Structure 1
Amino acid sequence: MEKDGRRRTRMDDVAARAGVSQMTVSRVIRTPDKVAAATRARVNAAMAELAYVPDMLAGGLAARRSGLIGAVISTFENAIFAETIAGLTETVETEGFSLLLGASGYSLEGEERLLHAILGRRPDGIVLTATLHTPAARQLLVGSGVAIVEAWEIPSDPVDMAVGFDNRAAGQAMTAALLDIGYRRIAFVGATGGRDVRGLRRRDGYRVALAERGLPPREVGSAALPLGIENGPAFLDEILARFPDTDAVFCSLDALAAGILLAARRRGLDVPGRLAVAGFGDFAIAQPSGLDLTTVRIAGRAIGVHAGHLLLGRMSKVPLEETIIDVGFEVVRRSST
């Protein structure tokens, strides 16, 4: 009984309404292709009439499967992980899995809390967009016994499997590309705190590229996360105040680059004549149909697809040819430089 005295609709109610056995209802839910089309239609109609929601966990316990994939991303507040989640969802849904999604807010403690909640629901696999974890969170992951994929970075000591790219090398490549074009007074805009590990590695790559040419860094940013297009005007003001002769800006995210480019145009600054702007990610706003930003292209959807296949392979006990996948990156020059 529910708390208000109403009884929850059960599988035997659906079976009685459809005139079939409970086993047939179970087959329609779990292996519909093995049930005759007419019978399947009758059971589906009964479930719809009775507003029946299958208890996938109860059925999964017998099969030692919950049908859930947990995913913890760093933030919902910009599009950086959207394509990865889309690729992951499409891949695992083809095998009947559903995604349980949470955001850590770039907080190690937040990730740990989410892992407690997700693991309590007995997921069959977990994808994380962070590779830095609290000791307790790492212990939870290692002891969970489920397939784990860390994404968007290749960690030096992965918990299990990983799909990503070298953020430091990507930052270095973009900065080197700007130098090769002829820019010499390049500023970097991004996170300054320790929570955005990927952004800090892009900054490290920027520093390396400048040091190789004997040039000093020019860095502005904020420890507050997430950063987005709305931060662009303030960062542009800071760049022009501290480094007035800056001729190019490399941003750790396309959203930041978009904010700076739009703010520069409002101030009457010629882009790229007076100030070149480059971003990171190659999201919709950076593409030719958007602001036509020079950027680092990341195969975000491919990261999700690879992560899904790694999870499915591990869960099905299929031998995996590789468990660490580097999707690489590409510097794309457009009109903003």
Structure 2
Amino acid sequence: MNFMDQKTNLITLSDVAAAAGVGESTVSRVLRNHGSFSEKTRARVMAAVERLGYVPNRIAGALASTGTPLVAILVPSLSNIVFADLLSGVTRTLENHGRQAVFAVTDYDLDKEEALVAALLAWRPAAVMLVGMEHSEGTRRMLRAAGCRIIELLDIDGDALDIAVGFSHVAAGRETAARLADAGRRSIAYVGHDLKRDTRGAKRFSGFCAGLAEAGLTLADREVRDAPSSVGEGKAGLAALLERSPAIDAVYFSNDDMALGGYFYCLAKGIAVPDRLAIIGFNALEICRHTPQPIASVLTPRIEIGQRAAELFLSDAPSQVLDLGFSVVTGGTL
């Protein structure tokens, strides 16, 4: 029997009932572990389930009773540890309360996000969680009409659709500029990645420029790579920047991937850090805390954001914006 033939012979609740010699309602009670049935009956039903390879239709069962247990979560990427941490916080909390998470990856593309939201809403999830507060108008219309909880994550700079849990990227950028200015840096530059796609990175850059202005400084130069963030782009970005502006004394990188690349470039070229060049990133990734000189960064509570978002959903909390803040880690490069 080929795969297509198997698809037309899906094992049903009725098949399990016939194999176990009981009624469908009895099978349903056993699988839900709810209602009256003997241990002997349970054993017969579970033996039939195992023998037939039956998988319960949880969606249909949920819709027929108290609602779907599914929570849809959309993240920009799975290759970035930031989003893995976020998902860890969400899923641990949901699973402890019998909820199931389903994931989709948007690749920082708002049109793709809109298509994925439409597909996931067709499953009638109990909640939709999305990273960020920027969405297409089509996505906003669907979410407003969805009839489920909407939770935006990792950002609070904008108008929340329902619940937002995160921190201010604008404030993080501004605080980074203030720390560099307080450290006596006066020729400060920026190395970043695609700011059109990464809207939170763009907010940090905006706050950074505002923070420089508040300190009486202007941005000395910037190198924005037309590519996703990576260690390689950070290395290449700093090389291009220093070739063009060799007198700069500090660089703010859009995130720690980029900052790590810049740090490696300094090691390879014998550039003294931080005496000759200060480096600071964003996210305070573990790897950057274990370089020969721990890289200065902004610590973000990613796991806690996921946990608190799930808790607010589970408690049916009112619409709100929850700011969990951030902290600057000076490390050894500032």
Using the size of structure 1 for normalisation, the TM-score is 0.89
1:62-114 CA-partner distances (Å, limit 9, x unpaired):
12522211111112232221111111111111222221111111111111011
What is the aligned partner in structure 2 of residue 280 from structure 1? 282
Count residues in correspondence: 330
Q: Would you say the 8 A contact 2:279–2:333 is kept in 1?
A: yes
Q: How does 1:48-87 map to 2 (within 5 A)?
A: 48-87=50-89
Q: How does 1:8-47 map to 2 (within 5 A)?
A: 8-15=10-17, 22-31=24-33, 43-44=45-46, 46-47=48-49
What is the aligned partner in structure 1 of residue 321 from structure 2? 324
Match of 1:139 among 138, 141, 152: 141
Q: Does 1:220 align with 2:223?
A: yes
Q: Does 1:335 align with 2:332?
A: yes
Letter of the structure 2 residue corresponding to residue 169 of structure 1: A
Letter of the structure 2 residue corresponding to residue 65 of structure 1: G
TM-superposed deviation, 1:34: 9.2
TM-superposed deviation, 1:248: 1.6
Match of 2:156 among 154, 157, 160: 154
Q: Would you say the 8 A contact 1:32–1:40 is kept in 2?
A: no
1:296-335 CA-partner distances (Å, limit 9, x unpaired):
0000001111111122222xxxxx2662211100001111
The whole-number CA distance in structure 1 between the counterparts of 2:167 and 2:185 is: 26
- Shifted more, 88-97 versus 45-54: the winner is 45-54
What is the aligned partner in structure 2 of residue 95 from structure 1? 97
Q: Would you say the 8 A contact 2:170–2:203 is kept in 1?
A: yes
Q: Would you say the 8 A contact 2:192–2:234 is kept in 1?
A: no
Q: Would you say the 8 A contact 2:127–2:149 is kept in 1?
A: yes
For the residue of structure 2 that corresponds to 1:52, the secondary structure is: coil
TM-superposed deviation, 1:27: 3.9
1:111-165 CA-partner distances (Å, limit 9, x unpaired):
1011111111211110000211111110000001110001111143211111010
- Structure 1 residues 119, 283: closer, same or farther in 2, change over 3 A? same
Q: Would you say the 8 A contact 1:14–1:43 is kept in 2?
A: yes
- Shifted more, 30-39 versus 259-268: the winner is 30-39
What is the aligned partner in structure 2 of residue 111 from structure 1? 113
Q: Would you say the 8 A contact 2:157–2:170 is kept in 1?
A: no
Letter of the structure 2 residue corresponding to residue 123 of structure 1: P
The whole-number CA distance in structure 1 between the counterparts of 2:41 and 2:50 is: 14
What is the aligned partner in structure 2 of residue 7 from structure 1? 9
1:172-201 CA-partner distances (Å, limit 9, x unpaired):
112211221222222122235332111011
Identity rate, percent: 36
The whole-number CA distance in structure 1 between the counterparts of 2:320 and 2:20 is: 46
What is the aligned partner in structure 2 of residue 317 from structure 1? none
- Shifted more, 25-34 versus 265-274: the winner is 25-34
TM-superposed deviation, 1:50: 2.4
TM-superposed deviation, 1:53: 1.1
- Structure 1 residues 173, 155: closer, same or farther in 2, change over 3 A? closer
Q: How does 1:223-242 map to 2 (within 5 A)?
A: 223-224=226-227, 226-242=228-244
- Structure 1 residues 49, 208: closer, same or farther in 2, change over 3 A? same
Q: Would you say the 8 A contact 1:191–1:200 is kept in 2?
A: no
- Structure 1 residues 233, 203: closer, same or farther in 2, change over 3 A? same
- Structure 1 residues 26, 323: closer, same or farther in 2, change over 3 A? farther
Q: Does 1:266 align with 2:263?
A: no
Give the superposed CA RMSD. 2.5
The whole-number CA distance in structure 2 between the counterparts of 1:135 and 1:160 is: 16
What is the aligned partner in structure 2 of residue 243 from structure 1? 245
- Structure 1 residues 254, 45: closer, same or farther in 2, change over 3 A? farther
* Gapped regions of structure 2 (runs ≥ 5): none
* Gapped regions of structure 1 (runs ≥ 5): 315-319
What is the aligned partner in structure 2 of residue 313 from structure 1? 315
